[in-house]
Amino acid sequence: MFLCKKKPCEVERIVKANDREYNEKFQYADNRIHTSKYSIITFLPINLFEQFQRVANAYFLFLLILQLIPEISSLTWFTTIVPLVLVITMTAVKDATDDYFRHKSDNQVNNRQSEVLIDGKLQNEKWMNVKVGDIIKLENNQFVAADLLLLSSSEPHGLCYIETAELDGETNLKVRHALSVTSELGADISRLARFDGTVVCEAPNNKLDKFVGVLSWKDSKHSLNNQKIILRGCILRNTSWCFGMVIFAGPDTKLIQNSGKTKFKRTSIDRLMNTLVLWIFGFLACLGIILAIGNSIWENQVGGQFRTFLFWNEEEKDSIFSGFLTFWSYIIILNTVVPISLYVSMEVIRLGHSYFINWDRKMYYSGKAAPAEARTTTLNEELGQIEYVFSDKTGTLTQNIMTFKKCSINGRIYGEVCDDTVQKKEITKEKEPVDFSGKPQAARSFQFFDQSLMESIKLGDPNVHEFFRLLALCHTVMSEEDSTGKLIYQVQSPDEGALVTAARNCGFIFKSRTPETITIEELGTLVTYQLLAFLDFNNIRKRMSVIVRNPAGQIKLYSKGADTILFERLHPSSEDLLCLTSDHLGEFAGEGLRTLAIAYRDLDDKYFKEWHKMLETASAAMHGRDDQISGLYEEIERDLTLLGATAIEDKLQEGVIETIASLSLASIKIWVLTGDKQETAVNIGYACNMLTEDMNDVFVIAGNTVGEVREELRKAKGSLFGQNNSVLNGHVACEKPQQLELVSVGEDTVTGDYALVINGHSLAHALESDIKNDLLELACLCKTVICCRVTPLQKAQVVELVRKHKNAVTLAIGDGANDVSMIKTAHIGVGISGQEGLQAVLASDYSFAQFKYLQRLLLVHGRWSYFRMCKFLCYFFYKNFAFTLVHFWFAFFCGFSAQFFGPVPRKDPLELPISPHSLDGWSLSFSPRGLGHEWMCFWCPHGGKKSREPPVLLKAAGSDNIGQSEVKQLDFKFFRQSSHLKREQ
């Protein structure tokens, strides 16, 4: 894999069905995958190269080389090679084990069997032998081998159902449908073998929700989109069989393209350690220079007195060269100041802390049998330093279990009644709910407490009927029946499920869909609508629409979406209803309910045909397709007639209030970033006690221009500091990042609790202009910040703003795909395994099932991980410096001769013990009745050949009681030197 020829960069892909010879000239990748890093041949050189890229390992390799030079080494080479080989071997074994399992997984996947159409026959082939352009047969519950263009299936109209859990974590079924021209091929092997269509499409990329291509066959062209493609990693469900043509194989598939490198996150301790190691290198070099200078001075002034006894000539010793050699000798001697085992020890501790998180029963959610999971082992101590938490609302603070509570239809609210004094009164659980027992298809879990809604349906109110007809038609829900004949909905979002269920219980039951029709049951009558166009939802449009033709031949566009978006597209005739519905939406949002606006439009047949022709042309375009389609969507989604609005309840999770209170006491600031409207977000803020009536002020930033946003920020800061406060001066347009230092000053001067609420369009102006620093300053001075109507990109931008300009550790927590960018941007990402699939969990560093577990993660595991790691590091450096500086101090008593000191006393004066820190650290001690400290052995490591001669014991003045015969010549390296040496008379 490392010697393969680099393939040219693709601009577009051309694939011809059933023609391997034609496709091979493009050098497309085969279907074999390689997730492993090494082979048997390449493991040793590549792994060693990777390991010696680490500074500590490279340093000790350099040290080992120095120790092989006898002129400068006073320690044998194995004192360094043993720990170095141990560390490298442990790391290599770990890397080899990981790669072995990758090889095993690769072989398991590559050797899966699939039926491939070859030479007019279906043959079993291993996945790794599948080529681009091949036609594959899939059966129910099989994994998809490659990215396929769906040709035909066992279901009517070429439909098939897939599960995409391995791609995006969502377990609900999704529908894919073949082109009508290819769905006619069916399971006829001879016709499939003669299929010679050519696909021209985009180059391989990692966009799971987008595909652009054109199929040319039989002198006609057909546009291809994501609904015609089945991606590798999906599982075929509820479909007996289907046939597909391979477009992307192996490493070119979108699944593998999304398996790229994730941004590596390092803790502040890691960054500090890297800096400290560099400083330690510098400190070690300084010690070596000081001792080298000391050696040169000592050799020049005192060393000459000893050369006579060592039979050296005067010219044989150069003090400068001796100092040079001594520098490298002390680099070897003092090497223990550099922590070779530090990183390994830290990883072992972090691994243990990760297991503590995984084993914590108090973070186990029995409702889903979901334990907490530490998906990384490198960030545990960072949990104890969090200062800012960025949280999604829906599914994170709330349960994301949607319940249809209220609605506004033609200016009337359903879900509340009026008493005798004509004042509104909320329907409560004490009231009798609507009885749906007479409707066998009704969902038993659905409850509604306003009988007047059912009466309006029975009376045939056309607006009410049209309202629920829209809810039954405008969605992406898939239906199926279980073994008992009960209707089951597969939904992509809980909101859609709640709305379709409400329509179902009100008599408008969604039954089934095909690529060309939608069938619903309207008050007991089956009605099939022809599906003419589907205008899908995305985070930019914030709405979805369907265009259908009813049995009477009328063409209608049904649309639902955010009220701020749909209200801009209403016909002037809906002006009065718009004002009334806006008031109702405000009431719903004030109660914490999620709202959507509902509208429709009658279309002229001639106008629609012209528009649809332009849509087909735009869909077949290879360049600028999205912009053209978006423009056509905008053109037809206008002059809408307002029907009303829906209100859905999403309750808070258990323990949210207590968790937020505890984190606030720990001086952790919580910012809520949500796509909900302002009133809903504010209401949830009050429900969580993030906003309270006791707050001094709640600043609302809702400007529509940069100037308005700047003025509102200025007024808010004026309320904080006072108009004459000098802190405010100079902050009209903070363009220099250095001015952000004033934030810390302001935090000390501000008294009282403040909150900031800003909506999406105001946030967009603030983030893209020179006032983003003003926004950050004001937000950091507030106790609570709520950003509403924000896009996923804006969530990531807010996190990046705080992370970049504030020296603080950030954490982002969410549960959906719209939170992934925020989770990846923060220092630490936490995923909630909620109702919106596992996208957030798959992108996170830590995951659990409930927001309340965040308190224990930060205040228990985070605190103890940080505390233990700090204690360990302090001990580690203390131990290393204490041991190393002893040798530095000893140098002043041994003539700076780079001798190793091992102060281990022994009773036997001739016993040579092993130092606890080095196998070569011999030391000699003297008993009181034997040789005293006035005796010394002198050995110079820089004397060339003479340095290896037996040392000479010298007797100091004043010690006449020991005869020369008692002196033994001992061949050992370490010595003690008396402070006063005189030549024996």
The answer to whether the annotation marks 358 as part of a ligand binding site is no
CA–CA separation, 387 and 663 (whole Å):
10
- Residue 829 vs residue 734, higher pLDDT: 829
Which pLDDT band, with edges at 50, 70 and 90, does 280 fall under? confident
The yes-or-no verdict on residue 71 having pLDDT over 90 is no
The answer to whether the annotation marks 638 as part of a ligand binding site is no
The answer to whether the annotation marks 496 as part of a ligand binding site is yes
The yes-or-no verdict on residue 255 having pLDDT over 70 is yes
**What is the per-residue pLDDT for 317?**
58
**What is the per-residue pLDDT for 697?**
87
**392 catalytically annotated:** yes
The answer to whether the annotation marks 560 as part of a ligand binding site is yes
Which pLDDT band, with edges at 50, 70 and 90, does 155 fall under? confident
- Residue 340 vs residue 414, higher pLDDT: 414
Which pLDDT band, with edges at 50, 70 and 90, does 125 fall under? very high
The yes-or-no verdict on residue 752 having pLDDT over 80 is no
Which pLDDT band, with edges at 50, 70 and 90, does 736 fall under? very low
**What is the per-residue pLDDT for 312?**
53
Local structure of 330: helix, strand or coil: helix
Strand partners, 880: none
**What is the per-residue pLDDT for 427?**
41
The answer to whether the annotation marks 549 as part of a ligand binding site is no
Q: What is the largest CA-CA distance in the chain?
A: 132
Tokens at residue 240, please?
A: 């007996």
Which of 782-791, 814-823, 923-932 comes out lowest in average pLDDT? 923-932
**What is the per-residue pLDDT for 310?**
52
CA–CA separation, 391 and 400 (whole Å):
14
- Residue 439 vs residue 877, higher pLDDT: 877
- Residue 102 vs residue 162, higher pLDDT: 162
Tokens at residue 952, please?
A: 């000479």
The H-assigned helical ranges of 241-365 are: 254-257, 268-298, 304-307, 319-333, 342-358
- Over residues 444-468, the mean pLDDT reads 88
The answer to whether the annotation marks 594 as part of a ligand binding site is yes
CA–CA separation, 412 and 47 (whole Å):
71
The answer to whether the annotation marks 393 as part of a ligand binding site is yes
The yes-or-no verdict on residue 315 having pLDDT over 60 is no
- Residue 488 vs residue 468, higher pLDDT: 468
The secondary structure of 800-821 as a DSSP string is: HHHHHHS--EEEEEESSGGGHH
- Residue 303 vs residue 692, higher pLDDT: 692
CA–CA separation, 81 and 74 (whole Å):
15
DSSP class of residue 129 equals G
Question: Are the CB atoms for 813 and 834 separated by under 8 Å?
Answer: no
Identify the helix (H) or strand (E) that includes residue 150: strand 147-153
Local structure of 111: helix, strand or coil: coil
pLDDT for 860-888, tens place per residue? 999 999 999 999 988 888 888 888 888 88
Question: Are the CB atoms for 154 and 240 separated by under 8 Å?
Answer: yes
Strand partners, 784: 670, 755
Closest by CA to 225, choosing from 241, 212, 242, is 212
Could you tell me what percent of the chain has a pLDDT over 70? 81
Tokens at residue 163, please?
A: 């599960």
The answer to whether the annotation marks 184 as part of a ligand binding site is no
Which pLDDT band, with edges at 50, 70 and 90, does 173 fall under? confident
- Over residues 401-424, the mean pLDDT reads 72
Average confidence score pLDDT of the chain: 79
- Residue 132 vs residue 329, higher pLDDT: 132
Tokens at residue 923, please?
A: 């030391």
pLDDT for 683-697, tens place per residue? 788 888 888 878 888
The yes-or-no verdict on residue 247 having pLDDT over 80 is yes
CA–CA separation, 849 and 553 (whole Å):
49
Which of 271-275, 383-387, 457-461 comes out lowest in average pLDDT? 271-275
pLDDT for 614-636, tens place per residue? 988 888 777 777 788 889 999 99
- Residue 81 vs residue 977, higher pLDDT: 81
Tokens at residue 26, please?
A: 């493009």
The yes-or-no verdict on residue 420 having pLDDT over 50 is no
CA–CA separation, 248 and 230 (whole Å):
11
- Over residues 262-274, the mean pLDDT reads 72
- Residue 79 vs residue 498, higher pLDDT: 498
**What is the per-residue pLDDT for 259?**
64
- Over residues 241-248, the mean pLDDT reads 95
The H-assigned helical ranges of 184-267 are: 189-194, 254-257
pLDDT for 12-44, tens place per residue? 899 999 999 999 999 999 999 887 888 889 899
The answer to whether the annotation marks 26 as part of a ligand binding site is no
The answer to whether the annotation marks 795 as part of a ligand binding site is yes
* Contacting residues for 568 by C-beta, under 8 A, at least 6 apart: none
The yes-or-no verdict on residue 921 having pLDDT over 70 is no
The answer to whether the annotation marks 675 as part of a ligand binding site is yes
CA–CA separation, 748 and 281 (whole Å):
39
- Over residues 749-760, the mean pLDDT reads 82
pLDDT for 197-219, tens place per residue? 999 999 998 877 789 899 999 88
pLDDT for 635-683, tens place per residue? 999 999 999 999 988 888 889 999 999 999 998 999 999 887 777 788 7
The yes-or-no verdict on residue 437 having pLDDT over 80 is no
Which pLDDT band, with edges at 50, 70 and 90, does 750 fall under? low
**What is the per-residue pLDDT for 950?**
40
The answer to whether the annotation marks 770 as part of a ligand binding site is no
**What is the per-residue pLDDT for 171?**
62
- Over residues 445-460, the mean pLDDT reads 86
The yes-or-no verdict on residue 920 having pLDDT over 70 is no
For residue 414, the number of C-alpha atoms closer than 13 Å in the C-beta half-sphere is: 24
The yes-or-no verdict on residue 273 having pLDDT over 90 is no
Among 30, 168, 252, 392, the active-site one is 392
The yes-or-no verdict on residue 951 having pLDDT over 80 is no
The answer to whether the annotation marks 872 as part of a ligand binding site is no
Which pLDDT band, with edges at 50, 70 and 90, does 123 fall under? very high
